[in-house]
Structure 1
Amino acid sequence: MPIKIPKLLPAREILERENIFVMDEDRAITQDIRPLNILILNLMPEKEKTEAHLLRLLGNTPLQVNISFLKTASHESKNTSSLHLDQFYTTFAEIKHRKFDGMIITGAPIELLAFEEVDYWKELTNIMDWTKDNVTSTLHICWGAQAALYHHFNITKYELPKKCTGVFWHHIDDQSEKLLRGFDDVYLAPHSRNTDIFIEQLQANPTVKLLSSSEEAGPFIMSANNGKQIMITGHLEYDASTLAEEYRRDLEKGLNILPLHYFPNDDPSKSPTNKWRSHAHLLFSNWLNYYVYQETPFEWD
């Protein structure tokens, strides 16, 4: 089944070139099924790239999915045109009366700030509190995962001595979790961050389960409250070229931080390949099926 997105969203052309099945509102209303309503709070600066990353994965399941994009009202994006935001995004005040089957809260390149120093922190905590009663399952990515762990469970972060960037091997810590059903015993996933969470605090918290981790990159996938909150510290949604683009941006800032295990022979002049795509699709499919579709009510009260 397809993913339903606004007719003029730029990501549509990218997805159709990749043979991802998409439909617009005109065709969707002819189908007599109950679609899943997914809300995406996009905190990344280059919002159109993040839209394509996430829609690619949400659109490759047997379920029809309606997508709504959410922006912060307390922070003005400098990297995405106001026209794009006005056309495709809404604010929390406009949707807080609604119920959503699933939600994604993305990362943001602000991890070196204390959470309370982020200008939209109060708005974000209001949204995260709202998800407890109005969203069946919320998926938090990278900084969004650290924010959720801090706000919901008081698990704090710390600055790493060196940026964690690259593609790392991960293993399964909890074989019984449906989110990882079908995963290989070991698999690759990208990371790109300057902070990490305190593993001691995570292990001491009985509510949060560590599902998968990496010896090099640390805790990766966590779940709480039977999957109502899912936290992922890395970026399975990334394209093959995303870390290379971040590497070049770092170079422009005078930072030569080569992503580990990413470029062929660690040579940044060579094009990297995507070695995590299948597990990215599997994780999002499992999330939509087991934690959203199987758990959400057909009609919200």
Structure 2
Amino acid sequence: MNTVKIGVLNLMYNKIETNINFYRSLTREHKNVQLIYYYSATRYVDRKLDPAITNTMKPLNLDDLNDLDGFIITGSPIEHLDFEDVTYRDEVNALLDRLNEMRIPQLYVCWGAMVALNHLYGIDKKILPHKTFGVFQNNILHSSALLENISDNFPAPHARYAEMSQQQINDNDQLTINVISDKGLLFMAEAKNKPQSFLFSHLEYQKDGLKKEYEREFAAHPENHPVQPENYYSPINNEPMFAWKDIQAKYFGNWVKQVISAKASVCN
């Protein structure tokens, strides 16, 4: 099989680490994957970027989409903002509109899932009473090819301050909620007739991902007394546990299989 090309619009603060996270997640079961990393062109129009970013990433260019076999929009630590207050919203919306017209598989992660559901389907966002942060069990409501070989009640990391309206998703005949956490929050939803998946877990995080997120929040705003992640540290040695490692490999491996299958169907 020829190499599949997957675009990643990386909106995270820790861009290089995020690129590595997605690379490890997407290539663990499939080696014939090429990732092309993008950053927001409008977000950084007047800001100088670290050469580590400009040497390995490209400003988003919608003309590239025709050469790609799949696309991912990552999370971003801005879920507390209204969508209209995001400075690069027009750029993201233009990307969403183009992707919505295409048949390539699309994976929207955390804030990426929120903005995609809002822009494409009119689903509202609400701020949670407190951050959901830690490793939680997740219950499968409706099957999906992305859940192949994943058993019910599986662990995955959640780290966000907002949630999309489950009622509106359930009322939309174009969408399905596939999995919710044991906290009653979204893990995954899908479009029924388009190759769009909405993942609310930071499933791409590696073993120390939640620890690093806590440390970043504490360093930035210790006065807010950020909470430690739940169900994450070993009771034996207090070290992080990578409880979702196998789920990560299977889920992203299943999504890459979708990309490969979609490319093959076009080629045939």
Cα distance change on mapping 1:109 and 1:77 into 2, 3 Å = farther
- Whether 2:202 is the aligned partner of 1:232: answer no
Choose the corresponding residue for 2:227, options 231, 246, 257.
257
Choose the corresponding residue for 1:208, options 149, 155, 175.
175
The residue number in structure 2 matching 1:38 is 6
The residue number in structure 2 matching 1:145 is 113
CA distance in 2, matches of 1:183, 1:155: 28
Does the 8 Å CA contact 1:108/1:143 hold for their aligned counterparts? yes
Aligned runs of 1:59-208 on 2, under 5 Å? 59-62=27-30, 64-76=32-44, 81-93=49-61, 95-96=63-64, 98-134=66-102, 136-175=104-143, 177-208=144-175
CA distance in 2, matches of 1:78, 1:45: 17
RMSD in angstroms over aligned alpha carbons? Answer: 2.4
The residue number in structure 1 matching 2:211 is 244
CA distance in 1, matches of 2:101, 2:267: 11
Does the 8 Å CA contact 2:30/2:256 hold for their aligned counterparts? no
CA distance in 2, matches of 1:41, 1:162: 27
The structure 1 segments of at least 4 consecutive aligned residues displaced by more than 2 Å after TM superposition are: 77-82, 91-99, 132-135, 248-252, 296-301
User: How many angstroms does 1:256 deviate by?
Assistant: 3.2
Q: Which amino acid aligns with 1:40?
A: V
CA distance in 2, matches of 1:142, 1:94: 22
User: How many angstroms does 1:164 deviate by?
Assistant: 0.7
User: How many angstroms does 1:85 deviate by?
Assistant: 2.6
User: How many angstroms does 1:206 deviate by?
Assistant: 1.0
CA distance in 2, matches of 1:192, 1:184: 22
Cα distance change on mapping 1:172 and 1:97 into 2, 3 Å = closer
CA distance in 1, matches of 2:46, 2:155: 33
User: How many angstroms does 1:61 deviate by?
Assistant: 2.5
Does the 8 Å CA contact 2:174/2:193 hold for their aligned counterparts? no
SS at match of 1:88: coil
CA distance in 2, matches of 1:53, 1:280: 11
Name the TM-score, length of structure 1 as normaliser.
0.81
Deviations along 1:148-194, one digit per CA (max 9) or x if unpaired, are 1101111111111111101000011113x211010012100001111
Q: Which amino acid aligns with 2:106?
A: T
CA distance in 2, matches of 1:261, 1:147: 28
Question: Unpaired runs of 5+ in structure 1?
Answer: 1-32
The residue number in structure 2 matching 1:276 is 244
Deviations along 1:122-155, one digit per CA (max 9) or x if unpaired, are 0000011111234511101100011111011111
Deviations along 1:227-276, one digit per CA (max 9) or x if unpaired, are 511001111111121111222233331223121212234x9x82111000
Does the 8 Å CA contact 1:45/1:79 hold for their aligned counterparts? no
SS at match of 1:123: helix
Q: Which amino acid aligns with 1:122?
A: D
CA distance in 1, matches of 2:21, 2:48: 16
Does the 8 Å CA contact 1:192/1:234 hold for their aligned counterparts? yes
Identity, in percent, stands at 28
User: How many angstroms does 1:101 deviate by?
Assistant: 0.9
Does the 8 Å CA contact 1:100/1:135 hold for their aligned counterparts? no
User: How many angstroms does 1:217 deviate by?
Assistant: 5.0
User: How many angstroms does 1:35 deviate by?
Assistant: 1.2
Does the 8 Å CA contact 1:99/1:135 hold for their aligned counterparts? no
User: How many angstroms does 1:95 deviate by?
Assistant: 3.6
Choose the corresponding residue for 2:185, options 189, 210, 218.
218
Cα distance change on mapping 1:179 and 1:78 into 2, 3 Å = farther
